[in-house]
Structure 1
Amino acid sequence: MVSEALTAERVLEATEEVLRRYGPSKATVVDVARALGVSHGSVYRHFRTKAALREAVTQRWLDRTSELLTPVVDDSAPAEERLDRWLTRLFEAKRHKAGGDPELFATYSVLTGDMSAVVDRHIGDLVGQLARIIEDGRREGVFASDSVGFPTEAARAVFQATGRFHDPAYAAEWSRPGIDEDFAAVRTLVIRGLRA
C-alpha cells in the first residue's frame, strides 16, 4: 500500500468507477478501497463518511458542467450571443452525460435525488452564471431591466423556462425527434423576451 500517493482526486476517480460498476445501492467504501489497492481506512482519511464521499463525487460530477460553461460566461462576446451559446452548451452537456454514459448518468440521478444541498449549490452556480451574462446584457443596453431583483430573477426565470433541456427528469426526451427544434424555439423566445 502506498497511502502517500493516495489523493482525494484518486479516491473520487475510483469511486466513480465503482459506482459505474455496482450502482449506488451496492457500491461500498470497501469496494473503492479495493479498486485503489488500499485499506478502507485510507479512503476514510480523505472522506470521513460514506455520505461525505458520495457528496464529493456527486459535486465533482455536477461541477464538470459548470466548468464547461465558465468560458462562455467569461468571454468578451456580446451578452446575447453568450446567452445563446451558454444555453446551447448546457443542453449539449446534459445530453452528452445522459447518452454518453447512461449507467453513470442513472447512478448520479439517484445520488442527486438524495443530496438536495449539492443540487441546490449546482443550480445556484448555474443561475449565477446566467445572471452575470444577463447583467452584462443590461449594461450593453440589450436586455431590459425593468424588474426588481434583476438580473437574478431573470436568470432564475431563464433557467426554469429551459428546464426541459437540462433537468435530468427530462433526459428520456433529449434523443427524441424534434427536440433540437423545440430547444431552438424556446431559446429564441427566451432571448427575445429579455431584449430591451
Structure 2
Amino acid sequence: MNDTARREQILQAADRLLRHYGPQKTTVADVAREAGVGVGTVYLEFTSKEAIVEELSRSRYEVVLDAMRVAAAADGRSFGERLVGALDARLRAYFTQADGGAHACDLFHCGSPAVKSASERFYQEECALLADLLRRGTEAGELDVADPDLTARVILRAYKSFTPPWIFMEERDEVVRLSAAMHAIVLGGVVARK
C-alpha cells in the first residue's frame, strides 16, 4: 500500500470513529485498530490525534466552502442572489454534514484546538469569498458597499447564529425561515439604491 492510500485509509477510519464517538473519546489506538494498521503507522502519517482531527475538520469546512463557491459563481444571477445563494448553500452544507452521525458536528464546533484552527482558516477563506462577491457586485453597480472586507466580516458575524452548534438547537424549518428573514435584512443594507 502506498503512503497516499495508507493515509486515506487512516483518515476514513478516523472519520467513522469521530462521527460515532467524537474527538474526546477517540484515541489513536482506536483509529489504528479501525484502520487495520499499527499505532506506529498512524504516527508515520500524523503527528498526533489533533492532526487527524484538524485534517478531517478542514475537509468538512472545505465541503461547505465549495458549496458557497458554486453558489457565488452562479452566472445569470444578480450579485444579491449570489450572496443569498452562498449563505443558503452554507446552511445546507452544514445540515448535510450534520446528518453524518451523532458527533458529526464536533468537527465543526468543539473545544478541540484542531477544530478551532480549522474553523479560523475557514473563516478567513469565507471572508475572502464574500468580500470578493461584494466587491464585484459593487463594481457592477448592483451592490453598494464601501468596504467589502469589513462588510463581509459583519455579514458573517450576523450569520454566526446560522452555524453549528446553534443551527441544531431548533427545528431545521425554523432555522431556514429565520435565515430567509436575515437575508432580507442584510440585502436591504447592501443592495444599491436606484
TM over 0.5: yes
Cα pair 1:62 1:122 within 8 Å, conserved: yes
- Counterpart for residue 9 of structure 2: 10
The 1-side partners of 2:181 and 2:166 are apart by: 20
Gaps of 5+ in 2: none
- Counterpart for residue 153 of structure 1: 150
Q: TM-score, normalised by structure 2?
A: 0.86
Q: Structure 2: which amino acid aligns with 1:75? A: A
1:168 and 2:165 aligned:
yes
1:59 and 2:55 aligned:
no
> How large is the RMSD of aligned CA atoms in angstroms?
2.2
Cα pair 1:112 1:118 within 8 Å, conserved: no
Gaps of 5+ in 1: none
The 2-side partners of 1:5 and 1:93 are apart by: 27
Cα pair 2:137 2:143 within 8 Å, conserved: yes
- Counterpart for residue 135 of structure 1: 135
Cα pair 2:15 2:56 within 8 Å, conserved: yes
User: SS state of the match for residue 162, structure 1?
Assistant: helix
Give the 3 Å change call, closer, same or farther, for CA 56–4 of structure 1 in structure 2. closer
Identity %: 25
Cα pair 2:72 2:133 within 8 Å, conserved: yes
Q: Structure 1: which amino acid aligns with 2:93? A: A
- Using the TM superposition, give the Cα deviation of residue 43 of structure 1 relative to its aligned residue in structure 2, in angstroms: 1.4
Give the 3 Å change call, closer, same or farther, for CA 184–113 of structure 1 in structure 2. farther
1:124-156 CA-to-partner distances (Å, cap 9, x unmatched) read: 11111111111111111011133xxx1111111
Q: Structure 2: which amino acid aligns with 1:188? A: A
Give the 3 Å change call, closer, same or farther, for CA 176–17 of structure 1 in structure 2. closer
- Using the TM superposition, give the Cα deviation of residue 10 of structure 1 relative to its aligned residue in structure 2, in angstroms: 2.5
Q: TM-score, normalised by structure 1?
A: 0.85
The 2-side partners of 1:125 and 1:9 are apart by: 24
